[in-house]
Structures are given as structure tokens and as C-alpha cells.
Amino acid sequence: MSEEKKMQPPDWSGVERVLVIMAHPDDPDFSCAGTAIQMAAQGIEVTYMILTNGDKGNHNPLITRNQLILMRKEEQRAAAALSGVKSVIFMDEEDGFLRPTPEIRKRVTREIRRIRPQLIICSSPDRYFSGNGYINHPDHRNAGLVAMEAIFPAADNPMFYPDMANEGYLPHKINQLYVSGHEDADVEVDVTEGIETKIASILSHTSQFPEPGEMEKWLKERWGKKQEDGSLRHFERFKGLHFNRPRTASQEEKKEEEK
């Protein structure tokens, strides 16, 4: 049996701005609200970017599509405010049909260059299943692709979208990327102190959770990790990538240099 991978604590030194890129209203609250709460409390400016309009996120035939879009935006703003997130950007792609198109990549790249975050949080493009009873939404996977393809190779390369320089949006390279839902997670954030606020932010999405009592109980159990003293602590985990470290030549590159 292989040993469980050792988790590292987060390193937010030098982080002033964070951009969270997710598919739907409520996705940031599930995946990283506890982390956002801690960041905001430390004075880090957190922005949520929601790629789709959430217009498929309800089965009630009495609610029109436009009503649902407006409802979900208000719910996300309220949830963000609870977590200390002051800015929410809605990109308004159609729910259920998100794809990493050149158009959405350019729009996301513009926002990265405008906000200039040191750290971005996004969803995993590789997660198709969770356990034995959940198929991951294709928008979640594609949101990860949209984010990553905007981060690299587009956001920090002046050859991509040179017209943005005329708008004042110059190339920008982030320092860290957190990928939520990745099976190779190695960064662990203890969100125990903010778990009630995280759950409250999730339950702000009343169009999704009409019976909050049962949902609250399930969420606490889902994220709880029993400690040796019998207490429960709650964590958010990410695959962490760092881009500000010195680059090490690959074996292939070293062989070329030796020729």
C-alpha cells in the first residue's frame, strides 16, 4: 500500500490579488470559499469569475430562463459577500455548453491582465468522476481548460492579443495556480474556523438548495476529517503549481547543450 501523499500548507507570501475562475454560480463556494475567507481576512483581494450564466441550474418549469439567470447572479453576489469577496465577474456563457473557444480564452486573458493576480484558483480539467455515483459536469472540466489556456500560453505572452496593450492590459504572469478537485492534490488549507461561513455561502444559493437543514449536515460530514482527539477539522485541498521558481533544464535540453 502506497503512503498517503504529504500535504503542504499554503504559501500566500507576496499574494495581493487572487482570481477564482469557475463554471457556475455556487462553484467557488463549494470548492474554495473557506480559502477565500482566510485570504480576505488577511487583506488579499479575491475576485470570483463565473464563466456561465447558470441558466440550466433549476428544474422548476415556473421559473423562466431570464429569471433564473438574475436569481443565480444575486445568489452568487450574496455568497461572495459573506466570504469577504467584493468583486464577482459574470462572463455569461451558456450553462451546459461551455467550451475552451478562442473567444472565451481572449476574454479571460483580458481579465487576467486587468486584475493581475498573483494566484489563480480553477477547477480540474481531468476530473470525470467522483466516487461511484457522480459524473462531473462538463462545464467544470472545460472551465479548468479555459482558465489554464488563458494562463498559458496567452496571458504573459505579448504575441497573444497585442491589441490589449492599447487598452492598457499588458502581459501578466501569475506566481501560483491552485487546481481544485485534482486527484494529485498537495496543498491543504484548514478551513475549520470558517466552515460555518463557507456553508452559509453555499446555502445562499437558494435556487439550488430549498431544504438547507439536511444540506448543512451533509456538508459538515463531507468535509470533516476526524482527528486523534475525536474532533472534526475541515479542509480544502488543491494541486499547487508554482511559476516563480528558477527553471531547471530537462535531461533532453542538457544533452543538446553537451553536443
- C-alpha angle 81-146-195 in degrees, rounded to nearest 5: 30
User: What local confidence, expressed as pLDDT, does residue 131 receive?
Assistant: 76
- The matching CATH number, chosen from 3.40.50.10320, 3.40.50.970, 3.40.50.300, 3.40.640.10, for 17-244 is 3.40.50.10320
User: What local confidence, expressed as pLDDT, does residue 40 receive?
Assistant: 98
Backbone angles phi, psi at 168, to 5 degrees: 90, 10
User: What local confidence, expressed as pLDDT, does residue 250 receive?
Assistant: 46
d(CA 129, CA 32) in angstroms, rounded, equals 19
Backbone angles phi, psi at 195, to 5 degrees: -65, -35
Please list the pLDDT of the chain residue by residue as tens digits (259 residues).
Answer: 344 578 999 999 999 999 999 999 999 999 999 999 999 999 999 999 999 999 998 888 888 999 999 999 999 999 999 999 999 999 999 999 999 999 999 999 999 999 999 999 999 999 999 778 888 899 999 999 999 999 999 999 999 999 999 999 999 999 999 999 999 999 999 999 999 999 999 999 999 887 777 778 778 777 777 788 878 899 999 999 999 754 444 444 445 545 4
Secondary structure of 181-233 in HEC code, one letter for each residue: CCCCCCEEEECHHHHHHHHHHHHCCCCCCCCHHHHHHHHHHHHEEECCCCCEE
d(CA 103, CA 205) in angstroms, rounded, equals 29
User: What local confidence, expressed as pLDDT, does residue 245 receive?
Assistant: 55
User: What local confidence, expressed as pLDDT, does residue 258 receive?
Assistant: 54
User: What local confidence, expressed as pLDDT, does residue 214 receive?
Assistant: 76
Contacts of 21 (CB under 8 A, 6+ apart): 49, 51, 108, 120, 121, 122, 123, 143, 146, 147
User: What local confidence, expressed as pLDDT, does residue 220 receive?
Assistant: 77
The domain limits of the chain are: 17-244
Side-chain-facing half-sphere of 69: CA atoms under 13 Å: 13
